[in-house]
């Protein structure tokens, strides 16, 4: 083999190794700069956050409470509105683990915001009170569509969702 052939083979080998090396660098650099979609949590409130009744910071602070140090946590909610639906026959909610309710009441405020309340038979017997304008007890059947009502509910936040209702009062205004 002549010296020229040896030089050509060596030059070709250097060129091939250089091309492979530069190709590897190019691919690596391209992977680093290529956009990879990621879930980014934005501090900007979404539209649904603007309709939330409770501020996210309040909810976050409640989540951080430690089980052993917290001895009691009671939430009292008050709702005002007009009755748009009353159900005294009961039913089931397939979307809520087939929850069986005895009484349902849907109210709406002046802004058109609504909430529906569902209560099971045990809650209706032991925790729910309904009163008329004079404060006299009434039966669920006496609540009618278009009645102005105030609902006051107390919940024990340390109990699970199915057992957290302390008491509830529905007042006709």
> What CATH number does the domain containing 87 carry?
2.40.50
Instruction: List the domain range (segments joined by +) for residue 9.
Output: 1-34
Assess if residue 98 is contained within a domain: yes
Specify whether the CB–CB gap between 97 and 106 falls below 8 A: no
- H helix or E strand, kind and range, residue 121: helix 121-126
Same domain, yes or no: 23 and 80: no
**Residue 95 pLDDT more than 50?**
yes
Same domain, yes or no: 87 and 165: yes
Assess if residue 54 is contained within a domain: no
Across 27-31, 57-61, 122-126, the highest mean pLDDT is recorded for: 122-126
Structurally, the chain folds into a number of domains equal to 2
Provide mean pLDDT across the span 79-88.
96
**Residue 34 pLDDT more than 60?**
no
Which phi and psi angles does 127 have, rounded to 5°?
-125, -15
Of the pLDDT bands very low, low, confident and very high (cuts 50, 70, 90), residue 49 is: low
Strands in 74-87's sheet, in edge-to-edge order, are: 114-119, 103-108, 74-87, 148-156, 165-172, 128-131
Which pLDDT score, from 0 to 100, does residue 24 have? 76
Reported as a single tens digit per residue, the pLDDT across 118-148 is: 999 999 999 999 999 999 999 999 999 999 9
Same domain, yes or no: 28 and 107: no
Which pLDDT score, from 0 to 100, does residue 40 have? 45
Same domain, yes or no: 5 and 79: no
């Amino acid at each position: 083999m002549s010296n020229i052939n040896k030089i050509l083979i060596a030059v070709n080998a250097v060129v091939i190794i250089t091309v492979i090396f530069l190709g590897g660098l190019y691919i690596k650099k391209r992977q680093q700069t290529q956009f990879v979609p990621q879930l980014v949590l934005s501090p900007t409130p979404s539209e649904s956050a603007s309709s939330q009744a409770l501020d996210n910071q309040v909810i976050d602070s409640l989540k951080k409470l430690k089980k052993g140090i917290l001895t009691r946590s009671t939430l009292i909610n008050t709702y005002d509105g007009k009755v748009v639906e009353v159900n005294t026959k009961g039913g089931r909610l397939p979307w809520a683990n087939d929850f069986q309710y005895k009484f349902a009441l849907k109210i709406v405020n002046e802004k058109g915001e609504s909430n529906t309340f569902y209560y099971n038979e045990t809650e209706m017997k032991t925790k729910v009170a309904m009163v008329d304008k004079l404060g006299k007890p009434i039966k669920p059947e006496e609540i009618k569509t278009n009645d102005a009502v105030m609902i006051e509910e107390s919940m024990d936040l340390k109990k699970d969702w199915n057992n957290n209702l302390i008491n509830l009062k529905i007042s006709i205004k």
